[in-house]
Amino acid sequence: MTESIATASELRAGPVRLTFKDGELRYLKVGDREIVRRIYFSIRQADWEPPMPQFELIELTRQDDSFEINMRATYGYDSACFRSEIHIAGGADGTITFTVDGEVLADFESQRTGICVLYGSDSLAGRQTFSIVNEDGSISESEFPELVSPELVAEYHSSLSYETADGISVSCRLVDGLFQMEDQRNFGDSSYKAFTHNPYTSMELTKGQRGRQSVVLEVTTAAPPQVSADEPVRIAVGATDEAAVVPQLHPATESTPDAVFAAPNRNRDPHREAETVTFGFQPAGHLWDDDTLMENVTVLVPEVKTLRSFAPGARCRVDAITLEPAHPRPAADARNSAPFAGAWCARIVKYLALAGADEAVFCVDGAFAQRVLELAAETVGRPIAPTSVDPHGPIDAFAVEQPDGLRVWLINKTTQDQRVTVELSDSAAAAVCRIAQLVMPAGVRSATSGPATINESLPVHDGELALTLLPYEVCILTP
């Protein structure tokens, strides 16, 4: 059956599960293990801005363990400068082919035009080796680096492969071309990016120019993958980590913004004896969909850890934290005033603490974000306790040890309602502070109204508190 797709679709290619959304393959997993973060086609204009595709056609044919997708899209801001015809096939044997036929519609300058493959750093950094086939046909081995690499992670190569400890074999090759791979954590992205120029090797693209690119991903497993059941997210609070402290949180009026982490990381000598090192967190530079911005928050931990490796005595200031990119776009990001910003800021507070940052400046001025930051300001200087959540799951959570007791923060990272069960064994009830979208009388959520702060008490049954979080809701429990 062929269908026209306007929203996200969950697909299978043999043992591989993935999400198809906005013309991209996202979160490719075997069981619960992420093996590739994304595969997509991108154009970077002369100023590095990536115009988003305008789709003229998206057709999907799916089976239980295979799929086929055909897309047609144009790219450009003022007018279309490039057209792509994209064919994606996912087979029952675990092979996925992503092919792009491109045509230049008008002369323009491009830093890069090609297919990108992202490897998620959360699951690979410092624990996974890989091998590549180099430009001359030789094979070399390396490791996905734990600290943020100021240099390329891999030079010109036609394929990259790795095998996990539990027997998952992953191979990704570019047909008739060469990849390079950079550490995107330099720019606030929690991934390693394999990118290619082929066949568009010149910055000057001319009208009528055509090219083809094709990437083949092959995945095999030693045993049938196990997938977690679709049940409420369970959250258990661990012991307080005295080294993970909520940093000083400054308002936007105190911002003296600096460049992203790549600046100090690639020019380390002037910072080795510095009293304070500042870098910005602006993760909207490469991609800026909701998934990308929410997933990239975890990169703060390796960024700060890397900074400590070459400037161990410096205070770490993250300034500015913003949804806006370094290169101005026609309008401010509308998510600044949406529930998304509140959930995003709450998650950042957690990872700033886990990273050991000393201070941070949030330049997010919407009502949802401001309410979250007001409550977070009450936790400054307090240690947090980790929780049992999957960093790639729909819910994030952390706990803060306050003088009068524990506060458990719950964050819905998605556009869907999410069921949560929190283990609170020593309590009969919990005070709940909910920051969520106002609900209109007819039960329809308003897309533009401000946050509702709802305070209530909920019972704890058999040591567990169950509740449902609204999209991008932030909820604070006091047992």
105 with 247, same domain: the answer is no
317 with 344, same domain: the answer is yes
155 with 243, same domain: the answer is no
pLDDT value, residue 229: 64
45 with 186, same domain: the answer is yes
pLDDT value, residue 186: 98
238 with 192, same domain: the answer is no
pTM score, whole prediction: 0.93
**Looking at 221, 253, 283, which one is the last position of a domain?**
221
215 with 276, same domain: the answer is no
334 with 311, same domain: the answer is yes
Q: Is residue 226 part of a domain?
A: no
Q: Please report, for the domain that includes residue 244, its CATH number.
A: 2.60.40.1180
d(CA 68, CA 270): 52
245 with 391, same domain: the answer is yes
**Looking at 187, 221, 255, which one is the last position of a domain?**
221
d(CA 41, CA 22): 11
pLDDT value, residue 304: 99
Q: What is the pLDDT along the chain (479 residues), one digit of tens a residue?
A: 455 555 679 999 999 999 999 999 999 999 989 999 999 999 988 888 888 899 999 999 999 999 999 999 999 877 889 999 999 999 999 999 999 999 999 999 999 999 999 999 999 999 999 999 999 999 999 999 999 999 999 999 999 999 999 999 999 999 989 999 999 999 999 999 999 977 887 889 999 999 999 999 999 987 776 666 678 999 999 988 899 999 999 999 999 988 999 999 999 999 999 999 999 999 988 888 999 999 999 999 999 999 999 999 999 999 999 999 877 777 888 999 999 999 999 999 999 999 999 999 999 999 999 999 999 999 999 999 989 898 889 999 999 988 888 899 999 999 999 999 999 877 888 999 999 876 544 444 444 456 778 888 999 998 999 999 999 999 999 98
211 with 307, same domain: the answer is no
d(CA 24, CA 39): 6
215 with 108, same domain: the answer is yes
pLDDT value, residue 52: 86
Residue 386: give the domain boundaries. 234-478
Q: Please report, for the domain that includes residue 43, its CATH number.
A: 2.70.98.10
pLDDT value, residue 139: 98
151 with 282, same domain: the answer is no
